[in-house]
């Protein structure tokens, strides 16, 4: 007796028999999975996301744009940062993305003023931070060697063919996406750069402060490896202190700040021998 063969649209004929066809995720399923990946990682480049989801770069780019429209992610050059559902109290927002919203236009103006201090072909060191991230965005497409301990900044240049990028190793401090510790300092001790661009948590009575002891140690190592130190500083940070003392103002060559700086702090910078650039 003959047995009828039923056609299965979810299978194809191969030499060794019937093989299931991998099912394609629907758009809501894929975007939900993308949200899970970014929430877990905090940040990622588009290539890694496309590989994890087994989709094209153009597809993952559209999905990231959709999540950004929902307020869940912030796009970067070549990647994305998880912001999270701000209406939910179950997960704290990723600190770097949260700080990107604070005085963002002022930081962008400072970055635009600072970019003129960089010449094509130079080797520069960029410290982690939201203001230095704005500077890195301004430098996209320039012919440079860039050394950084910042994952968000490194992701900006991951697919930039004109930039030769060196990302330090080290212990990941996930709240701010920076690499710190003895391995970071060892790598930094083996390089030389023309200029270091850094930001700090505060300047108080001629001394610079940052929030983390390991971060301050890495920045002190950076300062020893360069010819010039440029401080990118939101004027609201004058008069502020934090946990770790970094250095005194006379170790800084150039300060780039905004027009909110008052006369007393201008005079303080002049007395310390700093060149001052005010971003209007």
Local confidence pLDDT in tens for the 280 residues of the chain? 444 444 444 444 445 455 554 556 788 888 888 888 887 766 777 887 888 888 998 998 999 998 888 888 878 767 787 776 544 433 444 566 667 667 788 999 999 999 999 999 999 999 999 899 999 989 988 999 999 999 889 988 887 889 999 999 999 887 788 999 999 999 999 999 999 999 999 999 999 999 889 999 999 999 999 999 999 999 999 999 999 999 999 999 999 999 999 999 999 999 999 999 999 8
Q: Which domains does the chain have, with CATH numbers?
A: 1-89 (1.10.10.10), 100-279 (3.40.50.1360)
* CB of 43 closer than 8 Å to CB of 152: yes
Name residue, tokens 């505060």. 202
The confidence score (pLDDT) of residue 94 equals 54
* CB of 146 closer than 8 Å to CB of 163: yes
Residues sharing a CB contact under 8 Å with residue 93, sequence separation 6 or more, in sequence order = 83, 84, 86
Burial of 211 (0-12, 13-18, 19+ CB in 10 A): middle
pTM: 0.71
β-pairing verdict for 193-198 and 178-180? unpaired
- Angle of the 57-69 helix axis to the 46-53 helix axis, nearest 10: 110
The confidence score (pLDDT) of residue 54 equals 87
H or E segment and range at residue 257: strand 254-258
* CB of 139 closer than 8 Å to CB of 148: no
245 phi and psi angles, rounded to 5 deg = -80, 130
Residues sharing a CB contact under 8 Å with residue 232, sequence separation 6 or more, in sequence order = 107, 110, 111, 114, 129, 131, 132, 135, 197, 198, 199, 256, 257
* CB of 231 closer than 8 Å to CB of 196: no
Name the nearest CA neighbour of 152 among 125, 169, 133, 173. Answer: 133
């Amino acid at each position: 007796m003959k047995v009828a063969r039923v056609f299965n649209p979810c299978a194809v004929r191969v030499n060794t028999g019937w093989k299931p066809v991998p099912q394609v995720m629907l758009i809501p399923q894929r975007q939900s999975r993308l949200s899970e990946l970014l929430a877990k990682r905090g940040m990622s480049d588009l290539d890694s996301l496309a590989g994890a989801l087994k989709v094209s770069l153009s597809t993952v780019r559209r999905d990231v744009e959709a999540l950004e429209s929902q307020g869940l992610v912030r796009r970067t050059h070549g990647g994305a940062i998880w912001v999270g559902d701000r209406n939910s109290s179950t997960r704290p927002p990723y600190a770097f993305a949260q700080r990107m919203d604070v005085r963002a236009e002022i930081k962008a103006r400072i970055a635009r003023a600072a970019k003129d201090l960089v010449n094509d072909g130079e080797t520069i060191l960029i410290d982690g931070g939201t203001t230095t991230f704005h500077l890195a965005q301004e430098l996209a497409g320039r012919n440079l060697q860039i050394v950084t301990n910042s994952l968000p900044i490194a992701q900006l240049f991951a697919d930039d063919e004109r930039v030769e990028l060196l990302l330090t190793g080290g212990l990941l401090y996930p709240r701010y996406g920076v690499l710190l510790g003895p391995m970071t300092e060892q790598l930094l001790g083996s390089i030389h750069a023309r200029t270091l661009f850094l930001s700090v948590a505060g300047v108080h009575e001629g001394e610079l402060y940052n929030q983390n002891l390991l971060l301050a140690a890495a920045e002190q190592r950076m300062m020893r490896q360069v010819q010039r130190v440029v401080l990118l500083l939101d004027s609201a940070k004058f008069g502020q202190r934090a946990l770790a003392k970094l250095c005194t103002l006379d170790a800084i060559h150039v300060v780039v700040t905004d027009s909110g700086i008052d006369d007393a702090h201008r005079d303080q910078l002049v007395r310390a021998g700093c060149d001052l650039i005010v971003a209007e």
